[in-house]
Amino acid sequence: MTDDIRLCRTFQTAPAAVPKDDSAKYLTSGLEADGFQAPDWLVPDLEDGTAPDMKAEGLENTIEKVPEYEFPGEIWPRVEWSYEDETYREKGRNQIDRLVSEIGDEIDGVVVPKVGRLEDVKHAAEAVAEAESEHGYADGSIGLSIIIETGRARSDLREIARFGEDSRLTALVFGPVDYAAELGGRDLGDGMPRWDGLLEALSNEASAGGLLSIGGPFDDLFKERAGLTYYNADEYADQVEHEARLGLDGSWSLYPKQTIQANTVHMPTPDELERDVSKIERFNEAKREGTGAVTLDGQMVDEATFKNFRNTVQQVRAIHDTRPEQAEEYYDGDLLERALELELSYR
């Protein structure tokens, strides 16, 4: 994390069109969501979430609905693409062009799935650059996020993230279903692997390249036990907490209840905030008294330790900027005020 936190606790995909009377039902409910159900990023999904014969309608829904709402988070439509199939890349380029042309002011970028090696990621970046320039947008104003879901993209992850340092690349998102299919991973009764090596590398390379890292979708939305079918809150929370521990910036959500959970886990707890605000307050006071080294609870506070405290406060400030109602609901008013007013420099 850098000083300037870009928030993406939740990367919520919503099918851009579904075979219902209101084909934009899930898209509009994402745009309208409030409280903790409101995602940081809403991803109108023109790829695997929308059926082949509804793609065109999904694109029109996106173009029509997104401008109707003042969505406080970011909007990132997912288009079609495939490193191994030019047909899909052509579709993707056309979708990007339409989106930038029609709602370039309303979207923060596009999400490109199934990228392959670095060269393919560069092709995706060029497709965005062309649409941008064609429709009169400033260079870099339309971002690019990619789904890491092929062996080749994982193989080139370091190079892709380095390319990201000076490019429109914004987030690296994990896509476990395609990934497992490519590698031939198998569920022998206790689920697919978590791909811990990949997750750790994703967190590291995103951090080294100044990018965001986001976990993959969890689609066992419901569980059935003793005759009752109920929302599978525990397993999703386990996954999101695992991602948070490893330093991923956010988690993928497929469903409003998942958004509540991912928003909450990727938010410092009130105890964490109280602890770190109070440490910084005491640190600042000791600094003012000029004793040189600052010791708190018997431990000397060095810059590394201080950075950990500061991360907590900066994350809360970024949430308060975008979703003030979440911050206000979650934290005591006094504590939140202290977090917003704190001086955050180490020296």
Nearer residue to a second copy within complex by CB, 29 or 133: 29
**Which of the ranges 34-42, 126-134, 196-204, 329-337 carries the binding residues for a second copy, by CB under 8 A?**
196-204
Residues 111-130 close enough to bind a second copy by CB under 8 A: none
Nearer residue to a second copy within complex by CB, 97 or 205: 205
Nearer residue to a second copy within complex by CB, 34 or 233: 233
Shortest Cβ 334–a second copy spacing (Å) = 24
Distance CA 31, CA 67 (A): 10
Candidates 71, 76, 146; CA nearest to 104 is: 76
**Which of the ranges 24-32, 66-74, 301-309, 334-342 carries the binding residues for a second copy, by CB under 8 A?**
301-309
User: Taking the CA atoms of the chain, what radius of gyration do you get in angstroms?
Assistant: 21
* Residue 56 binds a second copy (CB under 8 A): no
CB under 8 Å to 193, separation ≥6 — which residues?
180, 185
Q: How many residues does the chain have?
A: 347
Q: Of the candidates 299, 329, 332, 344, which one interacts with a second copy according to CB under 8 A?
A: 299
What DSSP string runs through 171-232? EEEE-HHHHHHHHT---SSS-S---HHHHHHHHHHHHHHT-EEE-------EEEETTEEEE-
Q: Of the candidates 22, 32, 126, 200, which one interacts with a second copy according to CB under 8 A?
A: 200
Candidates 307, 314, 323; CA nearest to 262 is: 323
Shortest Cβ 256–a second copy spacing (Å) = 18
* Helix, strand and coil in the chain, % to nearest 5: 50, 15, 35
Q: Of the candidates 29, 72, 126, 208, which one interacts with a second copy according to CB under 8 A?
A: 208
> x/- binding map, residues 257-276, to a second copy, per CB under 8 A?
--------x-----------
* Residue 296 binds a second copy (CB under 8 A): no
Distance CA 55, CA 63 (A): 12
Write the Ramachandran bin of 173: left for phi over 0, alpha for psi from -120 to 50, otherwise beta.
Answer: beta
Q: How far is CA 284 from the centre of its chain?
A: 33
* Residue 20 binds a second copy (CB under 8 A): no
Are 11 and 234 within 8 A, CB to CB?
no
Phi, then psi, of 106 in degrees rounded to 5: -100, -20
Nearer residue to a second copy within complex by CB, 71 or 331: 331
Q: Of the candidates 235, 307, 329, 343, which one interacts with a second copy according to CB under 8 A?
A: 307
Residues 133-192 close enough to bind a second copy by CB under 8 A: 149-152, 154-155, 158, 161-162, 175, 177-178, 180-188, 192
Which residue type occupies 118?
L
Q: Given the rule CB under 8 A, which residues bind a second copy?
A: 1, 19, 48-49, 51-54, 149-152, 154-155, 158, 161-162, 175, 177-178, 180-188, 192-193, 195-198, 200-201, 203-205, 207-209, 219, 241, 244-247, 249, 265, 292-293, 299-300, 302-305, 307-308, 311
